[in-house]
């Protein structure tokens, strides 16, 4: 009888242990599912925000292109298109984010990047890739502090996530002239430089425009 009682008690204890483990596993699964749902909501919200920012920037660039462009004669006909494959880098840093459809590693969101990202350090000098007139210099949703340069013949460059801006609207900037400092304003992943090239309203992959030797030597 004692043995039978002991066996029953052992079986009951084992069953109770298994039930606790199962309850714990179910609780962990519920918690994981809640986290996944929360992450998915956050991912969707992030994707919507990124798309809104990109559309707003497109609208801003269209407005600039359609408005009266003071000093247009200084840049129009300057031969920006002929500089394809020879432009200097805007910052001495390697490219870490490429143009086109990408998956954001941290948030696992599929999005379209209309420019490239450089692994610039906080405070690193950012320069104009070509002669241009400053058309916008200030804060822009999703991109932090940005500078938009008009290079003539409908070509524009956008430099984003700057910590400092060293130019003002209407300034004339020569090629490799300082326009600001790299930073993390508007960035979700730390300090970097966001660089975009546009011809009219169309985003263009900037990489083929840079001098290959500079891309190869970038740290």
What pLDDT, in 10s, does the model give residues 52-99? 888 888 888 888 877 666 777 778 877 899 999 999 999 999 998 888
Total-model pTM: 0.75
pLDDT-above-90 percentage for the chain: 44
What's the alpha-carbon Rg for the chain, to the nearest Å?
A: 26
pLDDT confidence band for 5 (50 / 70 / 90): confident
pLDDT score recorded for residue 100: 84
Nearest CA to 90 among 168, 179, 5? 179
pLDDT score recorded for residue 70: 72
Q: For residue range 105-163, list pLDDT tens digits in order.
A: 655 667 788 999 999 999 999 999 999 999 999 999 888 999 999 999 889 999 999 99
Comparing 91 with 36, which gets the higher pLDDT?
A: 91
Q: Which CATH number describes the domain made up of 50-217? A: 2.70.70.10
Kindly tell me if the per-residue pLDDT of 189 is higher than 90: no
Question: What's the rounded Cα separation, in Å, for the pair 76 and 53?
Answer: 28
pLDDT score recorded for residue 141: 86
In terms of average pLDDT, the best of 44-58, 60-74, 198-212 is 198-212
One-letter-per-residue 3-state SS of the chain: CHHHHHHHHHHHHHHHHHHHHHHHHHHHHHHHHHHHHHHHHHHHHHHHHHHHHHHHHHHHHHHHHHCCCCCHHHHCCCCHHHHCCCECCCCCCCEEECCEEEEECCCCEEEEECCEEECCCCCCEEECCCCEEEEEEEEECCCEEEEEEEEECCEEEEEEEEEEECCCCCCEECCCCEEEEEECCCCCCCCEEEEEEEECCEEECCHHHECHHHHHHCC
């Amino acid at each position: 009888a004692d043995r039978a009682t002991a066996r029953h008690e052992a079986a009951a204890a084992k069953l109770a242990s298994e039930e606790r483990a199962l309850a714990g596993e179910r609780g962990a699964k519920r918690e994981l599912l809640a986290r996944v749902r929360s992450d998915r909501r956050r991912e969707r919200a992030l994707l919507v925000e990124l798309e809104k920012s990109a559309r707003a920037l497109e609208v801003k660039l269209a407005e600039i292109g359609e408005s009266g462009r003071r000093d247009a004669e200084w840049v129009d006909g300057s031969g920006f298109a002929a500089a394809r494959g020879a432009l200097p880098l805007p910052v001495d840093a390697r490219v870490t984010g490429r143009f086109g459809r990408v998956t954001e590693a941290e948030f696992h969101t599929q999005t379209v990047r209309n420019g490239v990202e450089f692994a610039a350090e906080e405070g690193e000098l950012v320069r104009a890739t070509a002669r241009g007139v400053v058309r916008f210099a200030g804060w822009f949703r999703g991109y932090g502090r940005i500078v938009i340069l008009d290079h003539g013949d409908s070509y524009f460059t956008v430099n984003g996530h700057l910590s400092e801006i060293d130019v003002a609207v209407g300034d004339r900037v020569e090629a490799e002239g300082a326009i600001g400092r790299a930073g993390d304003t508007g960035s979700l992943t730390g300090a970097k430089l966001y660089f975009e090239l546009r011809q009219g309203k169309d985003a263009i992959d900037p990489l083929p425009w840079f001098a290959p030797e500079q891309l190869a030597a970038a740290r």
